[in-house]
């Protein structure tokens, strides 16, 4: 945890990390969260926001490919397009054939080609980020293998979870608090799902701006946001 309290919009917010067991395909996400809360004897309040990383949600849905098993075979177009992606310190993004192949499957070939074309034009004009803005949140949420990530995801491609708003609602109803599915790293964040719908996504991004759960081997894919 980088710091427990963060000031956002003049309010102090406590961020409480919750450690869970490793969540994989067909695991019960709600049970894993409940076990983690029980370990730290955490009692949730109705105004608390229980937030879960998109990777944990997607993993429980089987939304990942292990590179070792050869189940993900990139087409030539994926190999070509991946060469033009800028790598960042936060991760490889779509800068490898396997992650680009997933973007083509998730978003559609025509959309990715259009995003690539507009992204190239944007770079010529000195503008960054057009590719991901056009490709959309599913493309932004694709994660490639990263050193320091907990096994087996250090050798896997992870996809955005299905129906993150629905997952947020299920979490909210189970734990009697507000809920969100988030995609946060050291370069920024994106709120994929919330419940109730009145939750302020921009405020959540501010509260989580320093990536308080980390993205390595902390095994804390769940956290609680509470007014301090």
Residue 7 DSSP one-character state = E
pLDDT in tens, 167-226: 999 999 999 999 999 988 766 688 999 999 999 999 999 999 888 887 565 689 999 999
Four-point Cα dihedral 89, 93, 94, 96, nearest 10: 60
| Phi, psi at 49, each rounded to 5° | -115, 110
Cβ(50)–Cβ(168) below 8 Å: no
Using CA atoms of 209, 215, 216, 219 in order, give the dihedral in degrees to the nearest 10.
100
| pLDDT for position 129 | 83
- For residue 90, the model assigns a pLDDT of 58
Q: What kind and span of H or E run contains 74?
A: none
Residue ranges of E strands in the chain: 5-8, 11-18, 49-53, 64-66, 156-158, 178-185, 188-195, 222-227
3-state secondary structure of 65: strand
User: Does residue 141 surpass a pLDDT of 90?
Assistant: no
- Which has more pLDDT, 5 or 213? 5
Fold of the 5-63+162-227 domain? 60s Ribosomal Protein L30; Chain: A; (3.30.1330)
> What is the model's pLDDT at position 93?
83
pLDDT digits (tens, 9 = 90+) for 27-50: 999 999 999 999 988 889 999 999
Task: Dihedral sign for Cα 27, 32, 33, 34, please.
Answer: positive
* Beta carbons of 210 and 3 less than 8 angstroms apart: yes
Q: What is the pLDDT of residue 97?
A: 95
What is the reported pLDDT for 1? 47
> pLDDT tens across 51-109, in order?
999 999 999 999 999 998 888 999 999 999 999 887 665 567 899 999 999 999 999 99
CATH 3.30.1330.100 domain residues, the chain: 5-63+162-227
Predicted confidence band of residue 149 (pLDDT cuts 50, 70, 90): confident
Nearest alpha-carbon partner for 152 in 41, 59, 36, 79: 59
Once rounded to an integer, what is the mean pLDDT over residues 133-156? 88
The b-or-e profile of 63-98 (16+ CB within 10 A means b, else e) is: bbbebeeeebebeebbeebbeebeeeeebbbbbbbb
Q: How far apart are CA 146 and CA 154, in angstroms?
A: 5
So what's the pLDDT on residue 184? Answer: 84
pTM confidence score: 0.87
């Amino acid at each position: 945890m980088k710091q427990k309290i963060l000031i956002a919009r003049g309010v102090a917010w406590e961020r409480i990390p919750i450690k869970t067991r490793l969540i994989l395909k067909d695991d019960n996400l709600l049970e894993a969260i409940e076990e983690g809360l029980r370990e730290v004897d955490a009692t949730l309040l109705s105004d608390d926001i229980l937030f879960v990383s998109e990777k944990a949600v997607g993993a429980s849905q089987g939304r990942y490919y292990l590179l070792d098993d050869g189940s993900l075979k990139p087409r030539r177009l994926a190999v070509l397009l991946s060469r033009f992606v800028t790598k960042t310190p936060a991760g490889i993004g779509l800068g490898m054939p396997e992650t680009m192949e997933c973007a083509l499957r998730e978003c559609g070939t025509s959309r990715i080609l259009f995003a690539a074309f507009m992204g190239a034009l944007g770079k010529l004009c000195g503008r960054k980020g057009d590719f991901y803005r056009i490709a959309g949140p599913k493309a932004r949420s694709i994660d490639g293998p990263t050193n320091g990530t907990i096994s087996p995801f250090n050798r896997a491609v992870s996809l955005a979870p299905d129906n993150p708003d629905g997952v947020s609602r299920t979490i909210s109803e189970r734990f009697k608090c507000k809920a969100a599915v988030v995609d946060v790293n050291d370069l920024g964040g994106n709120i994929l799902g919330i419940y109730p719908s009145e939750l302020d996504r921009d405020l959540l991004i501010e509260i989580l701006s320093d990536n308080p759960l980390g993205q390595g081997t902390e095994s804390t894919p769940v956290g609680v946001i509470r007014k301090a």
